[in-house]
């Protein structure tokens, strides 16, 4: 990424910069709120979460506040970046101050969380990963960049490539699931889509790979919690996705909140310098997570914020997101010799290098209000959002009920059937409820013959969606943990029947098929939304039971931001479609699938357990000396099956596929495995063919299966195709007891199949 001309201009600038101006380049601010209320923003937020004021009152008070961008400080060269500016007018106003009114005219960098779309909100990342489709992942990232850059955004805090094996963690929704290879491919596609080959173009934005590293392994799935694991496991399972994104040219990296083996990532020299820069060759900028540098004091690794700032900068953290630890302390730390000026210069150089790479020095105004006006929700973006939603959905069960005929009258019930805004999912901060097509909206638009009943008595139905975290909370630097969703997570007045039985039976009499729209509200996953029980709220299960009791066939649609433990849903439903949180085109995409206008092809990228107690549950586990089995003294639980409810890689279609003719051929560089896949049903479809490997005996125990590659193939009804995978010997290695990457001789098994549990296989000896 280094460019000689840019490096020379940076060196010249550094010579001119005062100490304060250098520190200013490392400071990212969120706008602060000044307004008619007496308490601080975070106190106000807490008052709402504590129920002292209503959400409406919170929003009213917020609307009386003005956003203060501390423009005098920007003019004085004391601010290098903002988080959360996402409109062209503000972006250009701030940029004008930076480039035309500050002493050195250094452009300001505007960052924002554009996680799964800007205004055209596409499915949450966990959903989209189920398409197993890098081309799609890149196209949706491109649309996100087109819209966000029109609104003045230069850098998105995405992709999140944290491998996540514990469904209790709310942030599983923001990544590509439990597998290292999938997370890497997903991340690389997003980096390409956001940045393109030329990040300096007006419609390219910098990617920020997060959360480096291992955030998805937070103990017990509790957000911000510790991560303690062997270096071998870290390297094999958690680091490859970040490394792949860095190698794909990501311009920035966000260190994670958590510690790794006792050292918080924000001050982790090994992570930020030895590994990221010296080993992987990263030349972009690192930016802390919100407030993370100052939080090192609470974490217990720094005595005060000055100590935290010194440790972070020295470790390799370039920019401070909103904690002000750098702003308040760095100049003094350099003056007193606690921090080396060369470390400060390194950090400033990294930040300026990214500003140059984005073209901001030569072309600081990359959008206009006029451009922004025409940028959002174009018809072709909505078409893509619908395609992405369709391809993300996973058919979990189908007893011949789907696809439905348009002749049938459908009865729809459940709290998520008409909740358009809930379709956005977590981290859709620029998305708007009114842009979303709910299932009920889509039925209206498409003239479907249907009846809609919430099916829950008013108090129950009203409990869904009442605790949304206000958009913008994060930008203001607020990261307080609140029990969002606690109310939805299954609390019903003891003894009271939450179901509106009369309405359900009326509806059932009139209709041929019943559809239950169940799941989580968008606040029940995402940041600070870990759950200790990942099943459905009790009243939703009661509703499903009531629907089943009518005797009519029942389709359950699941809207959720994490795997759910829902064996009862499987048992009570004739068909189950995992719709996730599908974005603005939710309802239309669901009807495409329900009516068979699209043949579902998504496959799970995360394991669904039977019960929360099985978490973390993932396919690539190692064996113990006593693998779970019939015998008493084997590795298992007494009260739940050994197998998951739905395994990794699983997903049905309206057609069927037959796998046959497995063969293996050893070559010079690797082994080639082949199968034939036949579409044995009556419909055309797409099948995601998966290839796994197991190293049978090694110096360290190896996973029972590890995804090595996948291919998504189109098969017309009756068609057969041969599918081949070549796995290089180099990729069959692992880290030995001394952390050397080795490829060992011995026996391996290769698997090819429709999911992680249903494969053909063969063995070969490497020797």
Q: Helix-strand-coil percent breakdown of the chain, rounded to 5? A: 35, 20, 45
Contact window for ligand NOJ (CB under 6 A) among 86-94, 297-305, 471-479, 542-550: 471-479
Report the relative pairing of strands 206-212 and 252-255 from DSSP bridges. parallel
Q: Counting contacts by CB under 6 A, is residue 157 touching ligand NOJ?
A: yes
169 near ligand NOJ, rule: CB under 6 A:
no
Nearer to ligand NOJ, 83 or 129 (CB): 83
What minimum distance in Å lies between the beta carbon of 252 and ligand NOJ?
A: 11
CA distance 509 to 505: 6
* Of the candidate residues 133, 474, 500, 578, the single one contacting ligand NOJ (CB under 6 A): 474
**Choice among 259, 289, 574, 695 that is catalytic:** 289
* 289 forms part of the interface with ligand NOJ (CB under 6 A): yes
Minimum distance of ligand NOJ from residue 428's CB (angstroms): 13
* Contact window for ligand NOJ (CB under 6 A) among 72-80, 472-480, 675-683, 694-702: 472-480
| Minimum CB distance to ligand NOJ smaller for 22 or for 154 | 154
Reduced 3-state DSSP string for 292-355: HHHHHHHHCCCCCHHHHHHHHHHHCCCEEECCCHHHHHHHHHHHCCCCCHHHHHHHHHHHHHHH
Question: In the complex, what is the shortest distance from the CB of residue 710 to ligand NOJ, in angstroms, rounded to a whole number?
Answer: 27
Decide: is 259 part of the binding site for ligand NOJ (CB under 6 A). Answer: no
# residues near ligand NOJ by CB under 6 A: 10
Residues 6+ apart with CB under 8 A from 337: none
Q: Which two tokens stand for residue 80?
A: 């290098």
Cβ nearer to ligand NOJ, comparing 21 with 113 = 113
**Least Å from the CB of residue 479 to ligand NOJ:** 6
3-class DSSP state for residue 109?
Answer: strand
Q: Shortest Cβ distance from residue 329 to ligand NOJ (Å)?
A: 22
The verdict on whether 289 is a catalytic residue reads yes
Structure tokens at 336: 């007193």
CB of 205 to ligand NOJ, least distance (A): 14
Q: Does 387 bind ligand NOJ (CB under 6 A)?
A: no
Among residues 173 and 475, whose Cβ is nearest to ligand NOJ?
A: 475
Q: Containing H/E element for 370? A: helix 369-373
Q: At what angle do helices 538-549 and 501-510 cross, to 10 degrees?
A: 40
**Which of 48, 110, 184, 290 touches ligand NOJ (CB under 6 A)?**
290
**Beta partners for residue 694, in sequence order:** 749
* Least separation in angstroms between CB 530 and ligand NOJ: 13
Strand partners, 713: 687
User: What CA–CA distance (Å, rounded) separates 560 from 341?
Assistant: 49
Query: Of 122-130, 229-237, 474-482, 718-726, which segment contacts ligand NOJ by CB under 6 A?
Result: 474-482
Interhelix angle for 305-315 vs 292-299, to 10°? 120
Q: Phi and psi of 419, rounded to 5°?
A: -105, 75
Query: Of 758, 531, 754, 757, whose CA–CA distance to 644 is shortest?
Result: 757
Q: Which is nearer to ligand NOJ, 174 or 585 (CB)?
A: 174
Instruction: Return the structure tokens found at 321.
Output: 């997101």
Q: Which of 290/423 has CB closer to ligand NOJ?
A: 290
Task: Considering only the stretches 397-405, 473-481, 614-622, 643-651, report the one whose residues sit in contact with ligand NOJ under the rule CB under 6 A.
Answer: 473-481
Considering beta carbons, is residue 10 or 287 the nearer one to ligand NOJ? 287
CB of 457 to ligand NOJ, least distance (A): 37
> In the complex, what is the shortest distance from the CB of residue 399 to ligand NOJ, in angstroms, rounded to a whole number?
40
Q: For 466-496, b where at least 16 C-beta lie within 10 A, e where not — what string?
A: ebbbbebbbbbbbbeebebbbbbbeebeeee
Contact 55, 468 (CB under 8 A): yes
Nearest alpha carbon to residue 748 among 702, 689, 699: 702
**How would you classify residue 83: left for phi > 0, otherwise alpha for psi between -120 and 50, otherwise beta?**
beta
Binding of residue 523 to ligand NOJ (CB under 6 A) = no
- Among 237, 453, 527, 687, contact with ligand NOJ (rule: CB under 6 A): 527
**Cβ-based nearer residue to ligand NOJ, 200 or 297:** 297
Least CB distance to ligand NOJ at residue 391 (A): 25
Interaction pattern, residues 44-83, with ligand NOJ; x per rule: CB under 6 A: ---------------------------------------x
The radius of gyration computed from the CA coordinates of the chain, to the nearest angstrom, equals 26
Query: Is there binding between residue 210 and ligand NOJ (CB under 6 A)?
Result: yes
Residue with smaller CB distance to ligand NOJ, 152 or 647: 152
**Phi and psi at residue 27, to the nearest 5°:** -105, 120
Cβ-proximal residue to ligand NOJ, closest one: 157
Q: Are 343 and 350 in contact (CB under 8 A)?
A: no
Is 526 or 583 the residue whose CB approaches ligand NOJ more closely? 526
295 lies in the binding site for ligand NOJ (CB under 6 A): no
Does 320 bind ligand NOJ (CB under 6 A)? Our answer is no
User: Which among 447, 408, 410, 409 is positioned nearest to 557, based on CA atoms?
Assistant: 410
Binding mask 85-124 for ligand NOJ (x = CB under 6 A): ----------------------------x-----------
- Closest listed residue to residue 288, CA positions, set 298, 296, 278, 280: 296
* Binding residues for ligand NOJ (CB under 6 A): 83, 113, 157, 210, 289-290, 474-475, 479, 527
Residues marked active site are found at 289
């Amino acid at each position: 990424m280094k460019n000689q001309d840019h490096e020379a201009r940076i060196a010249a600038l550094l010579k001119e910069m005062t100490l304060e101006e250098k520190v200013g380049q490392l400071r990212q601010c969120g706008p602060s709120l000044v307004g008619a209320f007496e308490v601080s923003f975070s106190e106000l937020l807490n008052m709402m979460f504590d129920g002292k004021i209503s959400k409406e009152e919170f929003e009213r008070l917020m609307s009386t506040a003005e956003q203060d961008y501390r423009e005098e400080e920007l003019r004085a060269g004391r601010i290098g970046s903002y988080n959360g500016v996402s409109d062209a007018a503000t972006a250009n106003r701030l940029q004008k101050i930076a480039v035309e009114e500050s002493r050195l005219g250094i452009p300001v960098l505007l960052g924002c969380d554009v996680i799964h779309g800007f205004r055209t909100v596409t499915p949450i990342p966990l959903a989209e990963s189920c398409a197993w489709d890098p081309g799609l992942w890149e196209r949706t990232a491109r649309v996100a960049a087109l819209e966000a850059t029109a609104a003045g955004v230069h850098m998105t805090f995405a992709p999140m490539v944290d491998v996540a094996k514990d469904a209790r963690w709310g942030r599983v929704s923001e990544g590509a699931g439990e597998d290292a290879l999938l997370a890497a491919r997903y991340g690389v596609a997003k980096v390409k889509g956001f940045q393109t080959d030329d990040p300096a173009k007006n419609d390219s934005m910098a990617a920020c790979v997060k959360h480096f590293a291992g955030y998805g392994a937070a103990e017990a799935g509790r957000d911000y919690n510790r991560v303690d694991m062997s270096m071998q496991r870290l390297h094999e399972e958690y680091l490859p996705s970040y490394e792949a994104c860095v190698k794909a040219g990501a311009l920035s990296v966000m260190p994670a909140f958590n510690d790794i083996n006792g050292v918080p990532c924000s001050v982790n020299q090994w992570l930020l310098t030895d590994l990221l820069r010296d080993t992987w060759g990263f030349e972009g900028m690192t930016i802390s997570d919100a407030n993370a540098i100052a939080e090192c004091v609470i974490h217990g690794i720094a005595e005060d914020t000055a100590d935290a700032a010194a440790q972070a900068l020295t470790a390799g953290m370039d920019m401070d997101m909103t904690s002000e630890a750098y702003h308040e302390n760095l100049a003094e730390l350099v003056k007193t010799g606690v921090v080396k000026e060369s470390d400060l210069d390194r950090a400033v150089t990294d930040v300026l290098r990214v500003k140059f790479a984005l073209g901001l020095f030569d072309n600081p105004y990359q959008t206009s209000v006029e451009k922004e006006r025409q940028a959002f929700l174009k018809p072709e973006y909505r078409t893509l959002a619908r395609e992405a939603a369709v391809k993300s959905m996973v058919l979990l069960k189908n007893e011949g009920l789907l696809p439905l005929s348009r002749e049938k009258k459908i009865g729809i019930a459940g709290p998520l059937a008409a909740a358009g805004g809930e379709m956005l999912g977590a981290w859709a901060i620029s998305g708007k409820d009114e842009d979303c097509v709910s299932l009920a909206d889509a039925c209206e638009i498409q003239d479907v013959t249907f009846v809609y009943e919430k099916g829950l008595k008013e108090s129950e139905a009203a409990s869904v969606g009442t605790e949304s975290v206000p958009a913008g909370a994060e930008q203001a630097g607020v990261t307080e943990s609140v029990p969002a969703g606690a109310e939805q997570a299954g609390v019903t007045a003891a003894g009271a029947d939450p179901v509106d039985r009369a309405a359900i039976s009326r509806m059932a009499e009139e209709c041929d098929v019943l559809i239950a729209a169940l799941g989580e509200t968008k606040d029940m996953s995402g940041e600070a939304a870990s759950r200790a029980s990942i099943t459905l709220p009790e009243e939703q299960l009661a509703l499903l039971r009531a629907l089943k009791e009518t005797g009519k066939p029942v389709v359950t649609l699941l809207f959720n931001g994490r795997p759910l433990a829902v064996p009862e849903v499987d048992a009570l439903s004739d068909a189950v479609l995992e719709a996730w949180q599908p974005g603005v085109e939710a309802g239309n995409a669901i009807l495409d699938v329900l009516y068979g206008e699209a043949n579902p092809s998504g496959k799970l990228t995360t394991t669904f357990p039977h019960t929360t107690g099985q978490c973390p549950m993932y396919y690539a586990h190692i064996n113990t000396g006593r693998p779970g089995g019939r015998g008493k003294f084997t590795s298992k639980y007494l009260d739940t099956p050994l197998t998951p409810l739905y395994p990794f890689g699983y997903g049905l279609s309206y057609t069927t596929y037959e796998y046959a003719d497995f063969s293996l051929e050893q070559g010079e560089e690797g082994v080639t495995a082949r199968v034939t896949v036949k579409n044995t049903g009556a419909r055309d479809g797409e099948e995601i063919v998966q290839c796994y490997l197991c190293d049978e005996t090694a110096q360290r125990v190896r996973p029972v299966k590890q995804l090595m590659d996948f291919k998504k193939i189109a098969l017309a009804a009756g068609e057969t195709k041969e599918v081949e995978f070549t796995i290089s010997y180099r990729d069959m290695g692992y880290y030995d007891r001394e952390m050397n990457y080795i490829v060992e001789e011995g026996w391996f098994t290769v698997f090819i199949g429709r999911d992680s549990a249903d494969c053909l296989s063969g063995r070969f000896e490497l020797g």
